Structure 1
């Protein structure tokens, strides 16, 4: 996705528990109440081994502790959010909470990570959450939000402590002293943990590669099902659904709402309504990313000719965007500013739209920072953003660390130039109108330079046409 500014602010949020309707529940008979707690097999009491990410999460917590000596810090996972009546949205923990605990898709709503300062130095760090209700309690069968009869097995304090290598305690122990939390640390803590994610460790890079692999398989699925999308009146939703199936089967979910934008919809940067037809002769722009169980997500865009081949004008626009992407990739070298990547792409975009006669000024004049910018009409978004456990990762980092920061090994970011000629834009010739193209790849910065993690997904116009031909059903 192509904009930044998403908030990852750490803040204590009021609890929003599931709205459980009781007026429709049948009363329990005394026989049920007398026997429901008996007749259950013993649960195994063995503890799990420490998960691989635990050592990395421990190092992150140590960095936080060192940065905030003597201060009590609270990082909440967040609460369930109501969708309608007694139905909640799927829970996803706050990114900073998952980053600092190593608890991903299996984390618990209402959990809090607490850094309690020691009298000498450092912090005692404890993960507080609501332990599973014992089968001798009424919650086991009567509480639809936490009862295991309703939602399945829930984690135990001892098991999570072993799994994450982290001290645990019941959330009630935290709530008794919640008012003692130091006020005013949220902004500082939010900034610090956001900047802590600018450079990924080995585990994070491994997870990014996994997310890209799942996403690549999802794009193959889309190409293989283009005919089904064409056949349905809301074919964009077929594309969205095909990708979602892959993201759920091989990962945790989609990392953000999939953009499946066919025809002129491709010119709307965040088109997620996905209710349009997929029409032969048009292009379809698909911006999608799979989030894996660790919550790390890919963010990749490909633009496909629905009929399998680009028209001449579509190819011209597509290859100009690819040229801009390649220029941005070439500019992404160690030690340059992050904004240099965007500037390299803009030079190509300005040159091409000027060459096509779409600008009232020269490309050089358009590129003047204060007085120019005419080319940005056709690409209003930025070229790159950091990527990781959030699709727009590190969003609360300071400008001097992000936009004006220097590229370092371990950084992961997108390169995603585009050209969008809206259907009613009379500043462009009619043959351009309704064409939207974006190419987006996920880039890892290494000591040897940039590595395109998604390079295996076809990129050039020729490769895309061959891709569609290879995966299309016989006789297409």
Structure 2
């Protein structure tokens, strides 16, 4: 936002892309209804009196070597083709306010540039004999003698702070760099998101994570665990506020920003009947003792890798009998899914294992008009899905739903491999007006979600340190209540 008054005629910048300082001063008129021209004295002196800016050469970041291996795989898959992978541009939020920039996930994967990536940057693979020459083009810092330095609030360094230099980024990422103005699109370019084969390949390239990525995902999970602990520690204030769900969101946001980059997705803080709405992100309700609160949240760290965790807490600190029954059934389903996950098993088998438990228990409780076996019939069944309409698992990485452009036979029908990271997140949701369930179930929503790494020896729960049994959740809350 502007840090000056709307009628300030000395320091308010002109509209950057349409007017130069010289023409603005000469015209003596505003470009918009709030931005005023620079006086001649400002224009004559703004480029003077600045210290030299030494160009530092940072050490190569750890991600660079891993990104190079990924680029080599892309190059081998598309011999002779010119590949263009844009980072993306700033997107307008309102008037002259933009959303925070986040680079395209494939761009981040192939460069190692995370939260510090520059808008409008482009990674280009130029074909040559035996491979490609790869160049990262971006908008280098502007000289202080240029209008861009002080007159452009979107990219000017007077407004947003220092921008990186070509040499520094080249050393940091171990990549050839050039100014964005040197990049020119050409006929025949294969452009990410426009070219289906390229988009699919770079998505499938992320299905199996390397050791560096696994470390980043564990870091994201660890920071997320601290965020959940912050929420439990602040339950008294959350309960006291009329919009306690929003306080939950704010507490988690503080941890995500202090120890990471941001949240990997909009936090779901769903208390009471709101927990039955799968993507409840309004987060404007109260948090009432006696209810459950479902919190689905994940920290995105500076590398842009994100966690995705859900825990369901009894607001009063203790589950009622019916809440505990539902909760432990969901945990039973999660444990069954975990037990089914093994190298060489089809990914969809994880979901099938969880749904078998959901069908069995809801049938036992008399909620289904058919037997569990009939409900599980692929063609005529599905009655139990009324209470768990979503899938049990998705891949996780740079995107919270990672590898989404992969082919079905590589994803849902694909085989689990060591290095894959995915969620296990069964749930049960009995909406407050659902007449197919007894009244004591209505308004109860439970989901337990963990982040799972497949290894050669089987699955490892990266988020196992966050309490997940009913007894452990109650003890967790009690520790903070003392």
Q: TM-score, normalised by structure 2?
A: 0.92
Paired with 1:227 and 1:44, the residues of 2 have a C-alpha distance of: 51
2:122 to 109, 112, 133: 112
For 1:254, the equivalent position in structure 2 comes to 263
Q: Structure 1 stretches (4+) deviating beyond 3 angstroms?
A: 17-23, 177-180, 182-185
For 1:5, the equivalent position in structure 2 comes to none
* CA distance 1:362–1:207, change in 2 (3 Å): same
Report if aligned partners of 1:191, 1:397 keep a CA contact under 8 Å in 2: yes
For 1:70, the equivalent position in structure 2 comes to 80
How far residue 144 of structure 1 moved from its aligned partner, in angstroms, is: 0.5
How far residue 180 of structure 1 moved from its aligned partner, in angstroms, is: 5.4
Paired with 1:357 and 1:290, the residues of 2 have a C-alpha distance of: 39
Report if aligned partners of 1:19, 1:85 keep a CA contact under 8 Å in 2: no
* CA distance 1:344–1:280, change in 2 (3 Å): same
* CA distance 1:447–1:188, change in 2 (3 Å): same
For 2:63, the equivalent position in structure 1 comes to 53
1:351 maps to 2:370: no
Residue deviations 1:252-309 (CA, integer Å, cap 9, x gap): 0000000000000000000001111111100000000000000000000000000000
Report if aligned partners of 1:266, 1:284 keep a CA contact under 8 Å in 2: yes
Residue deviations 1:401-450 (CA, integer Å, cap 9, x gap): 11111111100000000000000100000000000000000000111111
Report if aligned partners of 1:199, 1:412 keep a CA contact under 8 Å in 2: yes
Report if aligned partners of 2:267, 2:298 keep a CA contact under 8 Å in 1: yes
For 1:32, the equivalent position in structure 2 comes to 42
Report if aligned partners of 1:336, 1:406 keep a CA contact under 8 Å in 2: yes
Paired with 1:290 and 1:145, the residues of 2 have a C-alpha distance of: 26
* Number of corresponding residues: 455
Paired with 2:390 and 2:330, the residues of 1 have a C-alpha distance of: 13
1:408 maps to 2:417: yes
Report if aligned partners of 2:272, 2:291 keep a CA contact under 8 Å in 1: yes
Structure with the greater alpha carbon radius of gyration = 2
1:388 maps to 2:397: yes
Report if aligned partners of 2:84, 2:191 keep a CA contact under 8 Å in 1: no
* CA distance 1:135–1:22, change in 2 (3 Å): farther
For 2:324, the equivalent position in structure 1 comes to 315
For 2:103, the equivalent position in structure 1 comes to 93
For 1:138, the equivalent position in structure 2 comes to 147
1:151 to 160, 172, 175: 160
Flag structure 1 segments of 5+ consecutive residues without an equivalent.
Answer: 1-16
Report if aligned partners of 2:264, 2:400 keep a CA contact under 8 Å in 1: yes
How far residue 178 of structure 1 moved from its aligned partner, in angstroms, is: 4.5
Paired with 1:411 and 1:230, the residues of 2 have a C-alpha distance of: 39
Paired with 1:390 and 1:313, the residues of 2 have a C-alpha distance of: 35
For 1:222, the equivalent position in structure 2 comes to 231
Paired with 2:260 and 2:73, the residues of 1 have a C-alpha distance of: 29
Paired with 1:131 and 1:122, the residues of 2 have a C-alpha distance of: 27
For 1:6, the equivalent position in structure 2 comes to none
Paired with 2:55 and 2:408, the residues of 1 have a C-alpha distance of: 49
Write the mapping of 1:289-304 to structure 2, written as runs, cut at 5 A.
Answer: 289-304=298-313
For 1:80, the equivalent position in structure 2 comes to 90
For 2:287, the equivalent position in structure 1 comes to 278
Residue deviations 1:436-471 (CA, integer Å, cap 9, x gap): 000000000111111000000000000000000111
Flag structure 2 segments of 5+ consecutive residues without an equivalent.
Answer: 1-15, 20-30
2:146 aligned counterpart, secondary structure: coil
Report if aligned partners of 1:332, 1:340 keep a CA contact under 8 Å in 2: yes
1:446 maps to 2:462: no
Q: Higher relative contact order at CA 8 Å, sep ≥6: structure 1 or structure 2?
A: 1
How far residue 97 of structure 1 moved from its aligned partner, in angstroms, is: 0.5
Residue deviations 1:299-321 (CA, integer Å, cap 9, x gap): 00000000000000000000000
Paired with 1:394 and 1:30, the residues of 2 have a C-alpha distance of: 54
